[in-house]
Amino acid sequence: MRYLFIFWLVLGSALPGIAQEGLRLTGKVRLLEPMILKVTGVDGKEVFSVTVENNQPFSLGPERIEPDVYILSFGETKQAIYLTNREVTIKGFYDSRNPGSSSLSFTGIDEFMELSKWVPTDLDPQKRTVKPEAKEQLEGNMYSALAYLADMTQYEANKMVLEWIPEKNRNTASAKWLAHRVDSLGKFAVGAQAYDFEFVDTEGKKVRLSDFRGRLVLVDFWASWCGPCRREMKSLLPIYEELKGEDLEFISVSLDNREADWRKMLEEEKLPWVMLWNQEGFTAGNEPNVIQRAYGFYSIPFIVLIDKDGKIIERGLRGEKVKEAILKARQGK
Amino acid sequence: MKKYVLLIVLGCCVSLARAQLVNQAAQNQKSQAELDWYNCSPEEDGVYGAAVNKAYDFLKGKKLDKCPVVAFVGFGLDVEHEDLKEAVWTNKREKADGKDNDKNGLVDDVHGWNYLGGKDGQVLEIGTWEGNREYMRLKDKYADYISSNGEFFKIVNEEVVKVDAPENLEEFYYYRNVVQQQSGLARAYAGWQYAYVIQSFGRKWKAEMDAKYPGRKHTIKDFAEEYQGIDMQDTLRLAAYSMIIFGSSVYKTSDFEVIYNNFVENSVNMSKKGYETAESTTDMTARQRVVGDNYLDINDNVYGNNVLLTSDAAIGTMAAGIVGGKRGNGLGGDGIMDQAEIMTLRVDVGQGNPCLKDMALSIRYAVDHGADVIVLSQQNTLYPDNQKGWMTEALRYAEKAGVLVIVPVWELLQDLAQVTYYPNRWMDGEKELTNLMVVASSDKNGNPSMQANFGAKEVDLFAPGVDIYTAYTGDTYQTGAGSGLATATVAGVAALVKAYYPELTGAQIRDILLQSVTSRKDAEVEKGIVVGNSQMQDLYLFQDLCLSGGILNAYNAVVAADKLVNNK
């Protein structure tokens, strides 16, 4: 391609952030076709919406809102944004046919930009966590707004931020969202009782996790089409050979959609531990399936270590960490 | 000043884009040498700009004689842009009233024309490649032929059958050697036909071996021993043999059975699937549906509409900003010639190659409506013979009218002495075109774009086109790069010369621009090139990359123009 464009770098004329009686959303944008501009709460409640025409000024509100994180939708494009009771202006170009070449600029979102400074940038949601220094820097439900923007999947990371929110601010939409998230992440956090799955083995027999009570169990979720999974399994083999014993069991759970793929892989890899197949496959439609939701993972390989009583000891293990975790667990007995 | 930007990241799901707001507060504190740096000059600002500010110092007190018209034959335009709207060309003989007031056949062509539009206001956003268009035109005649050593075959009922040679051999070889090179569809189709050759020979050979050595488990070595002494002249047989040997390395096995099952029996299915995928992902009928004209008929010339705000208008707006952005108003960059009038003729969607008919008609439209400078959006390696003449005639028409035409090179690392692109100055075999400029982009340090095509004779000069801050759709401003932006810089300077010295023709302006470059002749610069199929870097003297051996310089150009006009 000849044209290498950077699609951002836009400016907006700044208006002083004058406190107003409510949220107003005004502006004028270039459009290829009319678009619905909408603001909704994180709880899905609509604040307001309008159909915007090309180059026609629009104005929404004023609407008294709880300052919080909201979802701003331009047609199919969604942006989480912290809004307060003041005027926000938007100008620019929204390209519905090729959203990546849109160019939009905003004013009146200073709190949001302040908040954004604390959003962690780590690309892996498993590792993302807000810096502890953020405590005391923000106030009220800005913390839960931050957690929403940060989109972290670790229990501890979310729990920490939830605890920063004063009791009186716990009733806002984002605070409720965070409390709920912490709650559901807690179900598969370290120390929680592992979901007792039941899958079929190579002979078609049903096998439950609880069948292995009394032993340490390493569960590896994988699929035949997943290259990294297959490499991970190969690196599990020497660890298994070195550490195997009465007190330890390895289980590999295939998330292949087709049994034939799973069986073909078994033939090729010939691994010596328990091999199970999740008949539900990798995903249920576009949604994570039962086992993904129960263990809180959305990509594979995913490896967890479960103790003798069926409680999760470690999650998201890879490579050498597997061995370390098993050795640590054995010492702890 | 608090300025925030919405950056949109495409999610995994195509229809849903996740956005991300970014703070760009630092933008305005940057100096001109970092933003619209084409205005700057090496001696005053330390960047290899085109010395436009310096040119204005020289022109102070001189009279602007003409508001030059610059026609962009390429992408759409945001004609309402705050920094550009005063520089948008308006057809004074046309009104937006649904009637063809100026009787030029086009209704409401107020600011230009969208040749890729439909009567109902629809806009074509899907581009096609010239190679694929030629495939569509010729496939019924030639796609089914398989040629080998002067003989011709076709696949009939899955078998290779000898047939008569095609009637028009010259056209057949054009299809085979040119179109097939440039068309993904044609290659995929040929692959499918060839798969039948492999299947047919493979089946025959397996049956022969089974009969000769009943019960033997054949290995690839057995196969090679049996069939290696094949006649090199029999290219079909040789191809089938080589494919099977190749298959053994792909499947890392010597078991003939495995190769036979995966390669011979499966090859037709696989390559058929390959063709079907190529066909279903290449929309060759969009133009028919949206525009409805026959792109092969130059006389079918009343089509399109006047919608200029398109997805690709972003590209056109960036280029237009370099020429016509209002100077000194603090918005975006300063255009090189903000008194210019920018005409927009849309023929390109930003993907594929424009049809030659659209380009040729656009050039004629621009000339007929007073354009002084025409900027085309791209060169191409394939100008089919039945359409090439339209372009040459249009370019000659512009030459005769004294209109300069500028075209960017592609950023494909090629040496244009080895790969011929059109348009070029020699394209009709007559006297060299004198009004055509081919331009590549350079950066602030005076280095050529690493990726740009180059040519000691074929490229005229380099011009600022990397990291340029300019207008963008929706009263916004962005930074971009590309030889398309370099052509805008050249167009701006050409327009500046024309504005003050309107008696100069396009050919004269080209001469002036070439002779007045900031010379970099002996500078040794790093340049990306392509050798075989791999990209590498090499050191080049600037003079071996382009004819002028330098970078566009507006100051030198206006001084030279002044001398030429006033010392006559």
- The predicted-structure confidence for B45-94, as pLDDT tens digits, reads as follows 999 999 999 999 999 999 999 999 999 999 999 999 999 999 999 999 99
Q: Tell me, what's the pLDDT at B274?
A: 92
Contact A154, A129 (CB under 8 A): yes
d(CA A11, CA B561): 38
H/E stretch holding B360: helix B356-368
State what percent of residues in chain B have pLDDT above 90.
81
Tokens at residue B133, please? 């268009």
Element (H, E) at B71: strand B69-74
Alpha helices by DSSP H, chain A: 110-116, 142-150, 155-164, 173-186, 227-243, 259-269, 290-295, 320-331
Among candidates A1, A12, A95 on the partner chain, residue whose Cβ is nearest the Cβ of B4: A12
- Residues 159-178 on A with a CB inside 8 Å of B are none
Residues B165, B176: Cα–Cα separation, whole Å: 13
pLDDT exceeds 50 at position A256: yes
As a whole number, the mean pLDDT across chain A is: 86
Interface residue B311 vs chain A (CB under 8 A): yes
Question: Residue A221's closest CA among A264, A309, A270, A281?
Answer: A281
Is residue A195 within 8 A of residue A294, CB to CB? The reply is yes
Cβ under 8 Å to A: B residues 505-564: none
Of A8, A30, A107, which has the smallest distance from its Cβ to B2's Cβ? A107
Indicate the pairing of strand B436-442 with strand A287-288: unpaired
**Is this complex's ipTM strictly greater than 0.90?**
no
Query: Residues near B274 by Cβ (< 8 Å), separated by ≥ 6?
Result: B188, B191, B192
Q: Are B141 and B166 contacting, i.e. CB atoms less than 8 angstroms apart?
A: yes
Residue pLDDT, tens place only, B134-172: 999 999 999 999 988 889 999 999 889 999 999 999 999
Chain A CB contacts of B477 under 8 Å are 9-11
CB nearest to B21's CB, from A92, A95, A112 = A112
CA atoms within 13 A on the CB side of B227: 24
Q: Which fold has domain A198-331?
A: Glutaredoxin (3.40.30)
Question: B12-26, B127-141, B209-223, B430-444: which has the minimum mean pLDDT?
Answer: B12-26
Contacts of A100 in chain B (CB under 8 A): 8-10, 17
Return the SS3 of A260.
Answer: helix
Question: 3-class DSSP state for residue B566?
Answer: helix
- Could you tell me if residue B446 is left (phi over 0), alpha (psi between -120 and 50 degrees) or otherwise beta? left
**Beta strand residue intervals within B229-371, DSSP E:** 341-346
B283 contacts: CB under 8 Å, gap ≥ 6:
B126, B128
Smallest Cβ–Cβ distance between A11 and the set B16, B28, B483 belongs to: B28
What is the rounded CA–CA span in Å between residue B342 and residue A114? 41
- Residue A142: strand, helix, or coil: helix
A1 vs B contacts (CB less than 8 Å): 411
**Cα–Cα distance, A36 to A48 (Å, whole number):** 11
3-state helix, strand, coil in chain B (%, to 5): 40, 20, 40
Collect all residues of chain A within an 8 Å Cβ-Cβ radius of residue B85: none
A105-142 pLDDT per residue, tens: 888 888 888 888 899 988 877 788 999 988 888 888 99
Give the pairing type, strands B534-541 and B524-531: antiparallel
Give span(s): CATH 3.40.30.10, chain A. Answer: 198-331
Does residue B423 have a cis peptide bond before it, meaning omega lies within 30 degrees of 0? yes
Q: Specify the domain boundaries for CATH 2.60.40.10 within chain A.
A: 23-115
The CATH code for residues A23-115 is 2.60.40.10
B48's CB contacts (< 8 A; 6+ apart) are B42, B442, B443, B444, B445, B446, B464, B518, B551
Q: 3-class SS at A11?
A: coil
Residue B16 to residue A91, Cβ atoms within 8 A: no
Judged by CB atoms closer than 8 Å, whether chains meet at B472 and A54 is answered as no
Q: Residues 403-442, chain B: which have Cβ within 8 Å of A?
A: 408, 410-411
pLDDT, residue A144, reads 94
For B423-433, what is the mean pLDDT? 96
Chains A, B: CB pairs < 8 Å: 165
pLDDT of residue A173 exceeding 90: yes
Closest Cβ opposite residue A113 in set B4, B80, B408: B4
Phi, psi of B415 (to 5 degrees): -90, 115
Instruction: With H, G, I as helix, E, B as strand and everything else as coil, classify residue B172.
Output: helix
Q: What domains can you pick out in chain B, each with its CATH number?
A: 31-128+287-566 (3.40.50.200), 130-281 (no CATH)
Among A55, A12, A32, CA closest to B312: A32
What 3-state class would DSSP assign to A85? coil
d(CA A147, CA A137): 14
Q: Do A10 and B3 touch (CB under 8 A)?
A: yes
Q: Return the pLDDT at A140.
A: 87
Q: Which of B339, B404, B343 is nearest to B373 (CA)?
A: B404
Q: What is the pLDDT of residue A13?
A: 37
* Count of other CB atoms within 10 angstroms of residue A266: 16
User: Of the spans A117-121, A273-277, B341-345, which averages the highest pLDDT?
Assistant: B341-345
Is B179 within 8 Å of B135 (Cβ atoms)?
Answer: yes
Would you tell me which residues 106-165 of chain B have a C-beta closer than 8 angstroms to some C-beta of chain A? 123, 125
Question: The tokens of B84 are what?
Answer: 């550009």
Query: Closest approach of chain B CAs to the CA of A194, in angstroms?
Result: 30
Closest to A209 measured CA to CA, from A260, A261, A278: A278
The answer to which of A269-283, B82-96, B328-342 has the lowest mean pLDDT is: A269-283
Q: What is the torsional sign of CA B425, B428, B431, B436?
A: negative
Nearest-CB residue to B408 (from A2, A77, A94): A2
Q: How far is B4 from chain A (nearest CA, A)?
A: 5
Is A109–B21 a contact, with Cβ atoms under 8 angstroms apart? yes
Under 8 Å between Cβ of B441 and B486: yes
Has residue B296 got a pLDDT over 90?
Answer: yes
In the numeric block, which tokens belong to residue A40? 């909704």
| Residue in A79, A105, A112 closest to B3 by CB | A105
| Cα nearest neighbour of B379 on chain A | A2
